[in-house]
Chain A
């Protein structure tokens, strides 16, 4: 599932880069970096999970699982942080350097926990709220798809948070995450098929 999401994230990043090259609009560059980081985080998480599975949970390699999650968490934190700063910049003049201050990177690897998930939920709720405002202004299907995508990603992290208490939420979280990226793919296809 993560590998599909990674591919879609890179496709969005590529489209944003193409847009930046054509328009020189800086917000598209932020969008590009944001999705490159999201994709890279998902790839590292997926690969670390696959390696741990292939090695049949060898004790020496179990740290890879935590390493994968840590890298994915930091990548998501910076990626969503960049998006939040990009939206803040549209309304107020917040320097983009703040994006670098957004992540509070730890030098220790950590497992999935309530604190990291809550941070990601907080960022995603802010981005989703921006998407609601955008949809209420635009009323376009593409804006609705992007809103749905970020709402699904927020829901996925809510499920990851609940998984800490109830294991059944783990597959639901992955399904919600994949659904979010599939909505982004639908938006990309619509944009490229228009005209």
Chain B
């Protein structure tokens, strides 16, 4: 059972999620979890399979937007760069939406 906090990021029915959109969904989930999210929460929240989650988390770590703590019980949090990226992206989304464009 998925708790209300770990509910998947909702959006209009879309057949295809871009890589950027998946990155953003993962980062949204981490931010929603008070910037301390366990992999299971991210997996449910971002609606990803385990293999894809591991792949994307590695990519986000390489990009320097998230960081990992712990060895057995891994916890992910956004870095300062990640928070800034998310805030800038929200501004872009708001700007594009004002003109009726979807990102």
Question: Footprint of B on A, CB under 8 Å?
Answer: 15-16, 18-19, 22-25, 27-28, 31, 86-87, 90, 130-131, 133-134, 138, 140, 142-143, 145-146, 187-188, 191-192, 194-195
A140→B94 CA distance, assembly (Å): 9
Complex contacts, A86 vs chain B, CB 8 Å: 101
Contacts of B85 in A (CB 8 A): 22
Over the window 65-102 of chain B, the binary record of Cβ atoms lying under 8 Å from chain A Cβ atoms (1 yes, 0 no) is 00000000000000000000101111110111111111
Is A28 within 8 A of B96, CB to CB? yes
Q: Which residues of B contact A192 (CB under 8 A)?
A: 91
Among B91, B99, B103, contact of A146 (Cβ-Cβ < 8 Å): B99
- Least CB distance from A192 to B in Å reads 6
Identify the closest chain A residue to B90 (Cβ): A195
Q: Which residue of A24, A27, A142, A195 is within 8 Å of B98 (Cβ)?
A: A142
B interface, CB within 8 angstroms of A: 20, 85, 87-92, 94-103
Residues of B within 8 A of A131 (CB): 99-100
Taken together as a complex, chains A and B put the C-alpha atoms of A152 and B91 apart, in Å, by: 25
Chain A proximity of B8: nearest CB distance (Å): 21
- Majority DSSP secondary structure for residues of A touching B: helix
Most A CB within 10 A of own CB, among B85, B94, B96, B98: B98
Q: Once the chains bind, are A133 and B90 in contact (CB under 8 Å)?
A: no
Contact of B20 with A23 in the complex, beta carbons under 8 Å: yes
Contact A143:B103 (CB < 8 A) given known A18-B92, A22-B88: no
Can you name the residue of chain A whose Cβ is closest to the Cβ of B19? A24
A-side contacts of B97, CB under 8 Å: 134, 138, 140, 142-143
A–B complex contacts, Cβ < 8 Å, 13 sampled: A19-B92, A22-B85, A23-B20, A24-B20, A27-B101, A28-B101, A131-B100, A133-B100, A134-B97, A140-B97, A140-B98, A187-B98, A191-B98
Name B100's closest neighbour in chain A (CB-CB): A134
Determine the chain B residues whose CB is within 8 A of the CB of A31 once the complex forms: 96, 99, 101
Check B100–A191 contact: CB distance below 8 A: no
Give the docked Cα–Cα distance between A28 and B99 (Å).
10
A191 with B95, Cβ < 8 A, contacts A25-B103, A86-B101, A133-B100 known: yes
Q: Report the Cα distance A146→B90, complex, angstroms.
A: 18
Complex contact A90–B91 (CB within 8 A): no
User: Which 9 pairs of residues, A with B, have the shortest CB-CB distance?
Assistant: A134-B100, A142-B98, A19-B92, A27-B101, A146-B98, A191-B95, A25-B103, A23-B103, A191-B94
Residue on A nearest B20 in the bound complex, by CB: A23
Chain B, residue nearest A25 (CB): B103
**Are B94 and A142 in contact, CB atoms less than 8 angstroms apart?**
yes
Contact with A195, one of B20, B87, B96, B100 (Cβ below 8 angstroms): B87
Q: Once bound together, how far apart are the Cα atoms of A19 and B103, in whole Å?
A: 10
